[in-house]
């Protein structure tokens, strides 16, 4: 066997016949906490991923074994204070009373050694593990939630909220909804507003969400598109929707009564809806809008008889921006979570 202190460069190799001596505390007090990791093969010890903790082995009375066979020796006091889950387990009555000191049986965990190392590292409080990978953070979050380690939950929540983390807003929305994180969920929703949920990448990520979360997000995006279409057809905001109006409508000083051709406005509406399906607008018209040929064609639209410019583009763009900004931007996270809890039928294996 090979032994090593988690996140420490020191690794025991050939010095003991079976177990390392447990009476070498290096003069450290009993309140100092530490973790010892044991792996099956010497070549499998990755010292770069060990926890930097003091060498104090005498009071490490709990052994946790990861799903990949790595064992961690931990002080029960450390787990008792940090986790209500472990606190309950440690206070359960023992079936066989201890008559003499023996090697504790390992507690088999469903988490990998890397996840347990990150979790124990945060519990110990000496140093935070690097949390710059979404998969790593989500695995840590699942373990922290399972064992009710509030400090690790807070660390994972903060890491997921970082703008520097490379994570899809759709995935972040699912995580936040599952944890009932209102602020993070709404922030993730806002970041999806410029994402087409019809793209292959988005479809793959949506398929990984719980059905209640996915339905809420799809419903919001559908509602935004429907309200955009209704707003574009509104006659008060865009008078070009009134067909057959004369050139001097609303302007008695203009003698021209020729009917106006609003085909360029309709071409712009079609282009906007097509662009929305590919890349929706978020806060308003973006730079891509001003590069659309239909915008410039409309700005140059004129009466066929008197050649008066038909549209005031400044007011048109202002109304378009106002329309997009009024579109719904949030979902009801609480309802979303409740729906997930009542969605047990999705997990039933039907005959």
Strands (E), the chain: 2-5, 11-12, 35-39, 62-65, 71-74, 107-108
Could you tell me the pLDDT band of residue 2, with boundaries at 50, 70 and 90? very low
Strands (E), 67-176: 71-74, 107-108
Comparing CA positions, the residue from 94, 111, 95 lying closest to residue 147 is 111
In contact, 40 and 77? CB cutoff 8 Å: no
Q: Residue count of the chain, please give it.
A: 351
Max intra-chain CA distance, the chain: 109
Is pTM beyond 0.75? Reply is no
In what side-by-side order are the strands of the sheet with 11-12? 11-12, 2-5, 35-39, 71-74, 62-65, 107-108
Angle among Cα 129, 131, 136 to the nearest 5 degrees reads 100
> 3-class SS at 332?
coil
Looking at residue 124, its pLDDT comes to 84
Q: What is the pLDDT of residues 275-313, one digit of tens each?
A: 999 999 988 898 889 999 999 999 999 988 888 888 889
Looking at residue 242, its pLDDT comes to 81
3-state secondary structure 224-239: HHHHHHHHHCCCCCCH
């Amino acid at each position: 066997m090979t032994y090593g202190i988690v996140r420490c460069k020191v690794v025991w190799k050939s010095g003991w016949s079976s177990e390392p001596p447990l009476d070498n505390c290096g003069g450290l007090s009993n309140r100092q906490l530490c973790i010892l990791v044991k792996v099956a093969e010497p070549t499998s010890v990755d010292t770069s991923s060990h926890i930097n903790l003091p060498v104090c082995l005498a009071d490490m009375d709990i052994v946790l074994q990861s799903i990949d066979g790595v064992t961690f020796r931990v002080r029960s006091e450390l787990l008792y204070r940090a986790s209500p889950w472990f606190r309950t387990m440690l206070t359960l009555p023992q079936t066989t009373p201890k008559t003499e000191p023996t090697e504790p049986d390992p507690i088999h965990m469903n988490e990998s050694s890397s996840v347990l190392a990150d979790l124990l590292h945060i519990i110990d409080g000496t140093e935070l593990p690097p949390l710059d990978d979404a998969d790593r953070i989500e695995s840590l979050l699942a373990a922290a939630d399972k064992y009710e380690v509030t400090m690790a939950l807070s660390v994972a929540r903060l890491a997921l909220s970082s703008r520097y983390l490379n994570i899809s807003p759709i995935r972040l929305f699912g995580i936040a909804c599952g944890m009932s994180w209102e602020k993070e969920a709404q922030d993730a929703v806002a970041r999806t507003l410029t994402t087409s949920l019809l793209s292959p990448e988005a479809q793959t990520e949506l398929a990984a969400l719980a059905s209640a979360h996915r339905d809420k997000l799809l419903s919001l995006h559908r509602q935004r598109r429907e309200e955009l279409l209704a707003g574009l057809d509104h006659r008060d905001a865009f008078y070009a929707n009134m067909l057959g109006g004369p050139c001097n409508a609303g302007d008695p000083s203009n003698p021209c009564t020729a009917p106006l051709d609003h085909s360029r406005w309709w071409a712009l509406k079609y282009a906007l809806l097509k662009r929305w399906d590919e890349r929706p607008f978020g806060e308003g018209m973006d730079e891509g809008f001003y590069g659309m040929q239909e915008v410039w064609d409309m700005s140059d639209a004129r009466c066929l008889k008197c050649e008066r410019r038909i549209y005031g583009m400044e007011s048109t763009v202002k109304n378009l921006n106002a329309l997009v900004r009024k579109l719904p931007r949030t979902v009801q996270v609480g309802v979303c979570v409740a729906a997930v809890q009542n969605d047990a039928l999705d997990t039933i294996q039907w005959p």
